[in-house]
Structure 1
Amino acid sequence: MTVTTVTGRSLAPDLARGVMLLAIAVAHAPVFATGTAFGVLDGVAAFLDHLLAHNQARPMFVLMFGYALGQFAHRHQVRGGDWGSLKKLLRRRSRWLIVIGFVHGVLLPVDIIAVYGLTLLMLVPLVRARDSVLCWTAALTLLPAVLVTSGPVLLALTGAVDVAGAGIMPADLGSHLLSGLQMWPVKTVLGTIDIVPGMMLGIWAARRRVLDEPERHRTLLRRVTVICLGVALAGRLPGALLLSGVWTPPAPWAAVLVHTLTGYAGGIGLAALMGLIATRSRPGPLTAALAALGRRSLTFYLFQSAVFLALFYPFTLDLSDDVGFAAAFGIALAIGAVSIVLATWLHRTGHRGPMEVLLRRLTYGRRNTTA
């Protein structure tokens, strides 16, 4: 029997998205911290961030985006929709994602929403492509994705760039917005390369309802969890030690590339682990709370950004110079805790996430907004 939430949704995809949001908060918060103090706690937090979240949360985010596309296509087909109408809906959805992501990306340097929208707009036909096309597309784009994602870190190792977003933030709002407008097109276009491999695998997994019906795929999920998380831990350990300043391996560039590459395995493994957890017949309160958060992932992804904007920027509370890695890690955990509480409250009061409601209305129009 498939474990579902009280709304009739499968538990595992929402649970995976909830855990993904916590990992995204942990990965993003240190970007805005430029405090010079670096004690033992900062070192531990940096190591944990680079081992568990940095360049691993994003692949999981992308995988679940692809899975959502597969779910979207499946529901459309079940309702009797044809491919022509599905294409129109997907293109409309992608254009609105670009609009939402544009506003978000101008304000913060960590947007992925517009990247999702642009990638989907370009690759709508692949939503119904043959499985072999999905797998080959994922395989052929994996190396370019790793190189693009690793590029800023590799440049930072040479001292050519500063990867900390807070370190380059203009002091006033006007200059900040202008800088965001200038950088947004480049970041969005380059970011599409990073999206494709996980997006293709997510669509493939959704077709098989791997997370929608995890009890049918328990053996597969168990194998993927063990293999992918094992590969991720082994492959990411040297990079985590390097990036946290603990140890410099003989070939730092190789450690960075392997760190990014095995982050894709880690993202897949974490999603599979959530599928296994969801096979429990009676999910606990924490599982239910994380699923409530995951069901409102767009809303609380933007909520995270609003908190970062309020705390760290020179024209807001300007805390970036006063916050080290450990404090940023703590702030990320606090944001996650508050998000869980708010999502649980929305769930119990019968409310969807406001951004989910908005995106659905923009996609479908006023009809079927509660479906």
Structure 2
Amino acid sequence: MTITAPTSLTARSLAPDLARGFMLLLIALAHAPAFVSDWDLGPAALNTAAKFVKSLLADNQARSMFVFLFGYGLGQLAHRQQVRGGDWTSIRKLLRRRAFWLIVIGFANTVLLVPIDIIAVYGLTLLVLAPLVRARESVLWWTSGLTLIPATLLLAWQSVVAQAKPVTMAEYMEPTFGAHLVASIPTWPVETAISTIMVVPGMLVGILAARRRILDEPERHTPLLRRIAVIFIGGSVIGRLPAALLAVGAWTPSSAPISWTVAIAHDLTGYTGGIGMAAAVGLVAIRARRGRLTTALSALGQRSLTFYLFQSVVWVVLFYPFTLNLRDDMGCAATFAIAIGIWLVSILLAEWMRVAGYRGPAEVLMRRLSYRTAE
């Protein structure tokens, strides 16, 4: 059986696209400081505020929102194909083609642009776990819960290491583009494979949410969305506050167990916080009118892959030694200003694409590669 064409832009649900558009801001805020050498360069008060916001709202929470929405998109895709008469064999082939090309695009992003990539991780996870897209809800819940344990521990280990010194790519940047092209290749396969464990819990919850069309029909799930938003975001703020205060030097852990407790609380509630933010956007979508801002932000969400890659291009242009080499010229607050600026420019470009009737280059490429006739 052949796979039907992808959904037209006019048929898309508002809430998931709004969430993806907002998510790109959090991703930019999480990534931008990683490309400068000294976070404390510049006004101390502004850098302190930026580091606090980064730890409280962005770190390991932007990615969790991204992962949840990725899973939600998979659930939407499978549902649409089933409604249009696609059988599971055809849907599985579509998912695995999509997974393969996500891996290819993610590899290209890592090699050509920046070695902070989640696209290939999504692709590898989907390639391995495609059968779970149609698994029973009990299987999805149990798998999500069980994998949350190693996923949180892996993230917590990274966080404990980062407590001693902020992680920055500046010291690893190659002096020439040629050296840059080969620097990430040896470690990419292992890092991508290990990172898949961090994707599984949120991805499966996203698939479950899509089955119930929680963001597609948010007005039918208002009480649930309200509970998720309040409890998950509230719990996230409480769980992540100690790490945020630690990030700005307000206190210092007295022992390794305390460091690990803070890191685990930060990263575990990052998963729930990302889902809570998506739920909050769902509530906004209920009341949002199709005004210019809402339309432009949803246009950005419809082109999230393109503008995720666009951010990578900007990081290379601004910070690498073989381009503008601004890595030693700004601190954390300045990179936040750049991140917000990139997001605003992305909204304007996405709206221009919408008016012009153009999906975005990455989306066009993915659809051409994924939606070929099944044999």
Same fold (TM over 0.5): yes
TM-score with structure 2 setting the length? 0.93
Which one of 55, 77, 82 corresponds to residue 82 of structure 2? 77
Secondary structure of residue in 2 paired with 1:14 = helix
Secondary structure of the 1:7 match is: helix
State whether structure 2 residue 59 is matched by structure 1 residue 48.
Answer: no
Aligned 8 A contact 1:296 1:343 in 2 = yes
2:169 to 140, 165, 169: 165
> How much does 1:246 deviate?
2.7
Identity over the aligned pairs, expressed in percent?
A: 60
Indicate conservation of the 8 Å contact 1:101/1:113, yes or no. Answer: yes
| 1:274-332 CA distance string (max 9 Å, x none) | 10011116244322221110000000000000000110111111101111000001000
Between the aligned partners of 1:6 and 1:309, the Cα distance in structure 2 is 31
Given the two structures, how large is their TM-score scaled by the length of structure 1? Answer: 0.94
Are the counterparts in 1 of residues 243 and 266 from structure 2 also a CA contact under 8 Å? yes
Measured against aligned partners, the alpha-carbon deviations of 1:323-344 in whole angstroms (never above 9, x if no partner) come to 1000001000000000000011
Give yes or no for the alignment of 1:10 onto 2:16: no
Indicate whether 1:314 and 2:321 are aligned: yes
Corresponding position: 1:24 with 2:27: yes
Query: Superposition pairs for residues 150-299 of structure 1, below 5 Å?
Result: 150-158=156-164, 163-250=167-254, 251-280=258-287, 282-299=289-306
CA drift of 1:350 comes to 1.4
Q: Given residue 30 of structure 1, which amino acid in structure 2 is its aligned partner?
A: P
The residue type equivalent to 2:19 in the other structure is A
Query: Could you tell me whether the CA contact under 8 Å between 1:34 and 1:321 is conserved in 2?
Result: yes
- The runs of 5 or more residues in structure 2 that have no matched partner are 1-7
Which region of structure 1 is more displaced relative to structure 2, 175-184 or 319-328? 175-184
What are the residue-to-residue correspondences of 1:323-334 with 2, within 5 Å?
A: 323-334=330-341
- Report the Cα offset of residue 245 of structure 1: 2.4
Q: Work out which of the residue numbers 141, 144, 165 in structure 2 matches 1:138.
A: 144
CA offset digits 1:234-291 (Å, max 9, x no partner): 1111101112323224422211221111111110110000100111162443222211
Q: 2:319 is matched by which residue type in structure 1? A: F
CA-based RMSD of the aligned residues comes to 1.6
| Per-residue CA distance 1:41-100 (angstroms, 9 max, x = gap) | 111111111111111100000000000000000110011000000011111110011101
**Take 1:33 and 1:57, find their aligned partners in 2: how far apart are those partners?**
20
Question: Structure 2: which amino acid aligns with 1:241?
Answer: L
Taking the aligned partners of 2:93 and 2:22, their CA distance within structure 1 comes to: 31
- Contact kept, 8 Å, 1:238 with 1:249, in 2: the verdict is no
Q: Deviations over 1:99-154 (max 9, x none)?
A: 01111012312101100000000001000000000011110011111122232221
Which position in structure 2 is the counterpart of 1:346? 353
- Mapped to 1, the partners of 2:293 and 2:87 lie a distance apart of 39
Contact 1:242 1:252 in 2 (8 A): no
SS in structure 1 opposite 2:185?
helix
How many residue pairs match? The answer is 361
- Is contact 2:156–2:260 with CA below 8 Å preserved after alignment? no
- Structure 2: distance between partners of 1:94 and 1:122: 9
Deviation at 1:6, TM superposition (A): 7.4
CA drift of 1:168 comes to 1.5
Q: Residue 196 of structure 1 aligns to which amino acid in structure 2?
A: V
Unaligned runs of 5+ in 1: none
Moved over 4 A (4+): none
Per-residue deviation at 1:158?
4.8
Measure the CA separation in 2 of the matches of 1:157 and 1:233. 19
Look up the equivalent residue of 2:57 and give its one-letter code. L
Give the CA deviation at 1:17. 0.5
Q: CA deviation at 1:172?
A: 1.8
| 1:6–1:306 CA distance, 2 compared to 1 (3 A) | closer
